[in-house]
């Protein structure tokens, strides 16, 4: 294939997501042969999966230890000097959460544990700026979606040019179909005539 043909294909917007998905797929397949191992020296330490569940803790897997306003929990941030009081309220639970966790062993995985039932200080304090950005991404998508649903910019029925082009296309197509039907009809008739004779 000539390179000019390739460039022309690249200039078509609808081909771009396919090309991107393809190159991403290639990279991810290459990733299968890259040696991967979890560095045990991590920020925001957590126990291994299932450990807290096996211990029978009601707030598994969110238990970071600590006592509210008395002893800090185990959080291990990057810059402890930026958050001197970190971990002091990480064990806080609202009265309702307290009650649910006392009667159910599945509190940690239920809707009560978030948001507000359990305070995750990593989410709201150490990395609070990330949480702000995440919710602004969501807010922007809601703004865009509501604009689109109110103004309905993709409404092609009211686009005059679009109607004309569509109608023309439809007329052409129906004429073509009619012609084809006519031709095959004539053929069939002549066949029938020959047979009859």
Partner 1 sequence: MVMDFVTLGGNLLGTIPLGDIVLYITPFNLFLFAVLLGFTALIAVSKPETQIEATMHYLHNTEVKVGPKEFKQRRFLSVLCGIASAGAMITGDLFNFTLFMALVGILNIGIVSAVKQTTVLNSAFNYGLIAMMCSLPLFGGAAIILAATGTLSLAVLSQMPASPMVVFGAALMLVGILGESGVAPFFASKAEMFRTAGSPFIVIIHLSSLFIIVRAVEILLLVLW
Beta bridge partners of 81: none
| Binding-site member from 3, 5, 27, 29 for partner 1 (CB under 8 A) | 27
| Binding-site member from 55, 67, 98, 159 for partner 1 (CB under 8 A) | 159
49/56 with CB nearer partner 1: 49
| Binding-site member from 53, 83, 109, 114 for partner 1 (CB under 8 A) | 83
84/111 with CB nearer partner 1: 84
Decide: helix, strand or coil at residue 189: helix
- State how far the Cα of 191 lies from the Cα of 78, in Å rounded to an integer: 88
Residues 6+ apart with CB under 8 A from 96: 112, 117
State the binding string over 88-117 for partner 1 (x if CB under 8 A, else -): ------------------------------
**Residue whose C-alpha is closest to residue 59's, from 88, 93, 86, 89:** 93
State the binding string over 112-141 for partner 1 (x if CB under 8 A, else -): -------------xxxxxx--xx-xx--xx
**Residue whose C-alpha is closest to residue 51's, from 59, 60, 43:** 60
Specify the stretch interacting with partner 1 by CB under 8 A; choose among 29-37, 47-55, 92-100, 183-191: 29-37
- State how far the Cα of 89 lies from the Cα of 85, in Å rounded to an integer: 9
Decide: helix, strand or coil at residue 67: strand
- State how far the Cα of 65 lies from the Cα of 61, in Å rounded to an integer: 11
- Residues lying near partner 1 in the complex (CB under 8 A) are found at 10-17, 19-21, 23-24, 27, 30-31, 34-43, 77-79, 82-83, 125-130, 133-134, 136-137, 140-141, 143-144, 147-148, 151, 153-154, 156, 159, 162
């Amino acid at each position: 294939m000539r390179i000019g043909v390739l460039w022309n294909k690249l200039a078509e917007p609808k081909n771009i997501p396919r090309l991107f998905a393809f190159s991403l797929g290639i990279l991810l397949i290459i990733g299968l042969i890259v040696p991967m191992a979890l560095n045990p020296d991590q920020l925001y330490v957590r126990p291994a999966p299932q450990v807290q569940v096996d211990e029978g803790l009601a707030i598994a897997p969110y238990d970071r230890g600590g006592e509210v306003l008395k002893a800090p929990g185990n959080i291990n941030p990057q810059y402890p000097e930026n958050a001197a009081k970190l971990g002091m309220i990480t064990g806080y639970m609202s009265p309702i959460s307290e009650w649910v966790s006392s009667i159910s062993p599945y509190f940690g995985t239920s809707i009560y544990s978030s948001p507000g039932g359990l305070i995750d200080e990593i989410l709201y304090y150490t990395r609070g700026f990330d949480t702000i950005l995440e919710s602004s991404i969501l807010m922007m998508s809601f703004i865009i979606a509501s604009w689109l649903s109110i103004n309905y910019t993709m409404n092609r029925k009211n686009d005059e040019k679009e109607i004309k082009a569509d109608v023309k296309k439809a007329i052409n197509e129906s004429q073509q179909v009619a012609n084809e039907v006519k031709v095959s009809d004539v053929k069939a008739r002549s066949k029938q005539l020959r047979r009859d004779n």
